[in-house]
Structure 1
Amino acid sequence: MTDGHAPSPDDGDAPALPDDCDAVRDALVSWYEADHRDFPWRRTDDPYEILVSEVMSQQTQLGRVVEAWADFLAEWPTAAALAAADRSDVVSFWSSHSLGYNNRAKYLHEAARQVTEEFDGEFPRTPDELSELMGVGPYTANAVASFAFNEGDAVVDTNVKRVLHRAFDEIHNAEDPDYETLANALMPPGESRVWNNAIMELGGVACQKTPKCDEEGCPWRKWCYAYETGDFTAPDVPTQPEFEGSRRQFRGRVVRVLGEYDELMLDELGPKIRVDYTPEGNHGREWLRGLLSDLSDDGLVEVDEDDSGTSVRLQQ
């Protein structure tokens, strides 16, 4: 993020947090709580149900997991029920629902047996304890601790890495980005359930490989390094398209914004094109006049100068 930074409370060498970190956090959580994809496992804090969803989601699109998850829980509604099932039936279910490697079904069945026999039917609560379950790696353990018990660390999956890489200039430009330290420093203490859901939703909806910043109302546009610079590369988007960050991209923004207004003054248009627009800055009036000159030459916009200033509209 680009607006000034305060040191991380956890590690002086870690990427720094923005000065207005509370505003950054509140913006994301408010965006998530106002409107998000309604997956059924987000409406439960049952650790067994959440574990099933996490294991199923490892190799399957979330939309396809919904039906399989409901069918699985209808067949085996508790860890005890799954532990008592014949393993071949569980594997057969997994295969018939095209849920990826059958080993995951075997591991899930064994994890249910461990919960029932080794943990007296009580799910372990912390990431370290959950990691003792068969087939439960660090990511899944942390996800279950977060979503079931609100006791997890920050989840750092591919989507979250993409968000952090784009939003924070120090992560974006680092040779070896420290995603986990930043993610944990950024997460509000004791809020792993809502925070991890929110930042994963941001990566899955707005900050996709092809970003949808404006379309999805990304709550971090005000602070985002990628949105400011137009450089939307990320770990899973290694090659920057020629369009990103180019004058052509910002010309397109001008046309799109003017399509929503009859007319705008130059300094009204600028902030709608770039969040870092300042009249006398590097990306200020001179830069914007250059874009408008190109668009005028192409017959796309009209630019009028008078005593009140410079006004811009689409060519009629």
Structure 2
Amino acid sequence: MTAGAQEWALPDDLEGVREALIAWYEADHRDFPWRQTDDPYAILVSEVMSQQTQLGRVVDAWEAFLERWPTTAALAAADRADVVSFWTAHSLGYNNRAKYLHEAAQQVESEYDGSFPDTPDELQELMGVGPYTANAVASFAFNNGEAVVDTNVKRVLYRAFDVPDDDGAFEDAATDLMPAGRSRVWNNAIMELGGVACEQTPRCDEAGCPWREWCGAYASGDFTAPDVPTQPSFEGSRRQFRGRVIATLREYDELEFDTLGHRIRVDYTPDGEYGREWLEGLLADLESDGLVELDRDGTSPVVRLHR
């Protein structure tokens, strides 16, 4: 991390954090075809197309583009008007991206003898290739990239490890988290985490988020993030007590209804304002979110974490 005092810190068990995410990703992830190749040209095409288009819609366009222009040599020799027409026909966003991609292919052929540069800095010499795209191609094609820091990754770091909304802090945290020499799998994995589990509306349990045991947002119930509207004051809020319920059940595994109530707030009174009716409503929310289970078979309901 950058030298100097800071108010946040990554978990001590960094190796456990890393391996948990990689194992989660390798066990099951969205099977986009560009994840099955290390061809830098094919990866560059996917990255440029994805800038303006939902990933599910990019697949058909990407496959059709590569069928028509399978190499940088083929694209470089194409008529630029044909490339732009293809872009427009497939609703891929701003046409200048098609022009830049065509020019980048010509650069690879004329300036690099048909071989892609393989570092983020060198890749930025290609027309229309900025820092993010250069790093993605270096990572996914050559396993030679730096840690990706996009909106999804910022959201994950902010929620999981309380990294402040500061570009320098995000870059430090992302760099410290990424295992050396594994940028290909790591950057795919952390972006997948932000794309399917830690979305703006999180799906922690449904997606089996591998970082739940370390995640500050999961413990507190406060899923605010840089790209998520600020939530109401946390102190005394339902979010705070949701977090207390989860934290308490992690410690005790399961508790009777009233016992749980007394453990999460000092002013809990079964028949009072903050009593069984209040707690029932709180637990109903958590139950509907798939976070807790209520066993109502006995004389006193028992609450436990969802298994």
TM-score scaled by structure 1? 0.79
Deviations 1:155-181 (CA, angstroms, capped at 9, x unpaired): 111100110111112x14x66661111
Determine helix, strand or coil for the equivalent of 1:178.
Answer: helix
- Written as runs of structure 1 = structure 2, the 5 A alignment for 1:237-276 is 237-240=228-231, 246-247=237-238, 267-269=252-254
Q: Distance in 2 between matches of 1:244 and 1:108?
A: 50
State the one-letter code of the partner of 2:302: V
User: Do the aligned residues in 2 keep the contact of 1:110 with 1:134 (CA within 8 Å)?
Assistant: yes
State the one-letter code of the partner of 2:276: S
TM-score scaled by structure 2? 0.81
Relative to structure 1, is the Cα distance of residues 204 and 19 closer, same or farther in structure 2, using a 3 angstrom cutoff? same
- Written as runs of structure 1 = structure 2, the 5 A alignment for 1:112-123 is 112-123=105-116
- Written as runs of structure 1 = structure 2, the 5 A alignment for 1:97-112 is 97-112=90-105
Tell me which residue corresponds to 1:196: 187
Q: Distance in 1 between matches of 2:170 and 2:280?
A: 45
Structure 2 regions of 5+ residues with no counterpart?
269-273, 285-293
User: Do the aligned residues in 1 keep the contact of 2:254 with 2:303 (CA within 8 Å)?
Assistant: no
Relative to structure 1, is the Cα distance of residues 45 and 13 closer, same or farther in structure 2, using a 3 angstrom cutoff? farther
Identity %: 68
Relative to structure 1, is the Cα distance of residues 313 and 158 closer, same or farther in structure 2, using a 3 angstrom cutoff? closer
Tell me which residue corresponds to 1:287: 264
Tell me which residue corresponds to 2:40: 47
Tell me which residue corresponds to 2:287: none
Relative to structure 1, is the Cα distance of residues 130 and 265 closer, same or farther in structure 2, using a 3 angstrom cutoff? closer
Equivalent in 110, 121, 128 of residue 135 of structure 1: 128
User: Do the aligned residues in 2 keep the contact of 1:206 with 1:212 (CA within 8 Å)?
Assistant: yes
Tell me which residue corresponds to 2:204: 213
Relative to structure 1, is the Cα distance of residues 181 and 245 closer, same or farther in structure 2, using a 3 angstrom cutoff? farther
**Equivalent residues, number:** 281
Relative to structure 1, is the Cα distance of residues 288 and 24 closer, same or farther in structure 2, using a 3 angstrom cutoff? farther
Structure 1 regions of 5+ residues with no counterpart?
1-7, 257-263, 271-278
State the one-letter code of the partner of 1:181: D
Q: Distance in 2 between matches of 1:163 and 1:117?
A: 41
Determine helix, strand or coil for the equivalent of 2:302.
Answer: strand
Relative to structure 1, is the Cα distance of residues 240 and 22 closer, same or farther in structure 2, using a 3 angstrom cutoff? same
Deviations 1:189-236 (CA, angstroms, capped at 9, x unpaired): 011000000000000000000001111111111011111111111111
User: Do the aligned residues in 1 keep the contact of 2:22 with 2:186 (CA within 8 Å)?
Assistant: yes
1:294 is displaced (CA, Å) by 3.4
Equivalent in 54, 59, 63 of residue 66 of structure 1: 59
Q: Distance in 2 between matches of 1:134 and 1:55?
A: 12
Q: Distance in 2 between matches of 1:203 and 1:237?
A: 13
